[in-house]
Amino acid sequence: MKSAEGRGRTLDEAVDAALIELNESRRNVDVRILTETPEETIVEVSVIDQEAEGAEPSATSNGKAETARGLVEGLLKHMGVRALVSVRSGSDPITLDISGRDLGALIGWRGETLRALQAVTNVMVGKHLAEGERVIVDVERYRQRREHTVREIAMRAARQVKMTGDAITLDAMQPFERRAIHLALEGDPDVTSSSIGEEPERRVVVGPRKPAES
C-alpha cells in the first residue's frame, strides 16, 4: 500500500502535506495520526486499495446507491455547490463521498452542517431504502479524519484518568464520534466509557474501571 508521512501545525496541514507527496485526494486515502502535540501533528496517509475494499455490491444495492448519489448531486446543484458525488466502493451502509474545492461550509462546525445534509439525504432517499437502512454522507473523508481525531482524544483522556483516578466528561459529540470513543477504549482494562445526556448535547464520560467484587 502506497503511503507517505505528513507534518504540519494542524491535522489538516499534516494530511495536506502527505497528499501533495502522494498526488492524491482525501477521498482516496486513509489517515493515521502518529503523534499530535500543540506544536506539530504527524500523520501517515495511505492510499486505499479500491480492489481490496470489499466484495462487489449487489445490483439492488447499486441501484439504491446510484439513486442516492443522483439525489444528493441534484441537491448540491440546487445549493450552488460545485462538487463530485461518488459511491464509496464496498461500503455498507451505502456511503456517498462528496469531493471538490472549498467544501468546508458543507461540513460546518464540528460537522453539524454535514450532519444536517445527511439527515436531508435520508429523508429524500427514504422511500428507496429498506426499514432501518440509511445512507452515510461524507465530505472529503471528514468522518474518517474525525474518527481518527476522537480516538486520539480517547487515548489522551484514558491516560489522564489513569494518572488522576478521576472521571473525565468529554465535549458533546455526534453518534459516530461517540462510537469511535467507545471502540477505542473497549479493550482497556483500566478505564470505562459511557454516554450521558440527550442529543445534541450527549457526551462520553471516561472513568476508572472499578475492580470486580470478590
Per-residue pLDDT reduced to its tens digit, 205-214: 999 987 654 4
Contact 65, 87 (CB under 8 A): yes
Q: Which residues of 92-109 are buried (b: 16+ CB within 10 A; e: fewer)?
A: eebbbbbbbeebeebbee
Q: Residue 205: what pLDDT? A: 94
Q: Tell me how far apart the alpha carbons of residues 44 and 4 are, in angstroms, rounded to a whole number.
A: 6
Contact 58, 30 (CB under 8 A): no
Q: Residue 194: what pLDDT? A: 92
Q: Residue 1: what pLDDT? A: 62
Q: Residue 162: what pLDDT? A: 94
Supply φ then ψ for residue 174, to 5 degrees. -75, 160
Q: Residue 54: what pLDDT? A: 46
Q: Residue 191: what pLDDT? A: 93
Q: Residue 212: what pLDDT? A: 54
Q: What is the pLDDT of residues 22-57, one digit of tens each?
A: 877 766 667 777 887 878 888 888 886 544 444 444
Q: Tell me how far apart the alpha carbons of residues 96 and 76 are, in angstroms, rounded to a whole number.
A: 13
Q: pTM for the full model?
A: 0.57
Q: Residue 118: what pLDDT? A: 87
User: Which segments of the chain have a pLDDT < 70?
Assistant: 1, 26-29, 48-61, 90-91, 211-214
List % helix, strand, coil for the chain (3-state, nearest 5): 45, 25, 30
Q: Residue 200: what pLDDT? A: 78
Neighbouring C-alpha atoms within 13 Å toward the C-beta of 103: 22
